[in-house]
Amino acid sequence: MKKLLHFISFLMMLSATGIAQSDTSFLLIKKIKGDIADFAVDNLDNIYVLNSRNQLKKYDAKGDSAGIYNDVKKFGQASLIDVSNPLKVLLYYKDFATIVILDRFLNVRNIIDLRKQNIFQVKVVGQSYDNKIWLYDELENKLKKIDEEGKVTQETPDFRLLLGQALSPTRIFDENKYVYIYDPMLGIYVFDYFGTLKNNIMIQQWQNLKVAGKYIFGSRSDTLFRYEISSFMYDEWKMPGQLTKSKSFNFSSSRLYALIKGDPGKEDSIFIYSFR
């Protein structure tokens, strides 16, 4: 009987611990409401909100307005926002093969028309460590680096020769001296700055993927993931009920951002959580 009571007490302790972990894994800090079509988050926890009229607004880590980009009629809806460098924002308009470069106050620094460089089929771009821009040219199946004038400064050989197959990447990240190219069907290909393949991380079919610092974040179905690059270990969390309704997620080292679309006639919301 004494052993049974000890066992019951042990089970109760485990149960209590599990509930505590579930309750404290996600702590709501604040939320931002408005017309929100898409958003991005930089490594200083500044938030960049793109609305349905293609207007871009910047909010600082406290949620206060910090800038606005209003020149919305030229290129239609932006297909990608890259804010990996807080001092520079990239807006990519895939239908026009055009990159708009903004400064940290969201003033236009430059506009690059890739078609003038004979680059016609690009789905994804990303900032590089040296203030240039990575892109994947799907016609030539090459990773290329361009400067702010659009001139190609570096390119790899055809990936069909390097890898034996073409890629169809959805994101490019330049992080900690490596370039990460994510193809949801084939995983993450990791290259050094000379175009040498260093690794293939078999993370497939993750949504909202982001490489930030020493982690790779992402989601799938009702689960959030955090993969530690150096140790090959990953954590996963089942989403709280409300988060399962999210349209998209973004991550920083200690925060989770979830976009939940409002019902017709109601505002959208970005919910900001701290998590561990």
pLDDT at 253: 78
Q: Using 50, 70 and 90 to split pLDDT, how confident is the model at 15? A: very low
pLDDT in tens, 227-259: 999 999 989 988 877 788 899 999 987 899 999
pLDDT at 23: 42
Q: Are 90 and 72 in contact (CB under 8 A)?
A: no
Residue ranges of the domains in the chain?
74-205
pLDDT in tens, 119-138: 999 999 999 999 999 999 99
- Looking at domain 74-205, its CATH superfamily turns out to be TolB, C-terminal domain (2.120.10.30)
Cα-Cα-Cα-Cα dihedral sign, residues 73, 104, 254, 234:
positive
pLDDT in tens, 46-105: 999 999 888 999 999 988 999 999 876 788 889 999 999 999 999 999 999 999 999 999
Residues with Cβ within 8 Å of 232's Cβ and at least 6 positions away in sequence, in order, are none
Tokens at 104, concatenated? 């940290």
pTM: 0.86
- For 32, phi and psi rounded to 5 degrees? -115, 130
Q: Give the count of beta carbons closer than 10 Å to the beta carbon of residue 253.
A: 12
Query: What are the beta bridge partners of residue 212?
Result: 215
**Ramachandran class of 165: left when φ > 0, alpha when ψ lies in -120 to 50, beta otherwise:** beta
pLDDT at residue 17 greater than cutoff 80: no
Q: Using 50, 70 and 90 to split pLDDT, how confident is the model at 264? A: confident
Residues with Cβ within 8 Å of 20's Cβ and at least 6 positions away in sequence, in order, are none
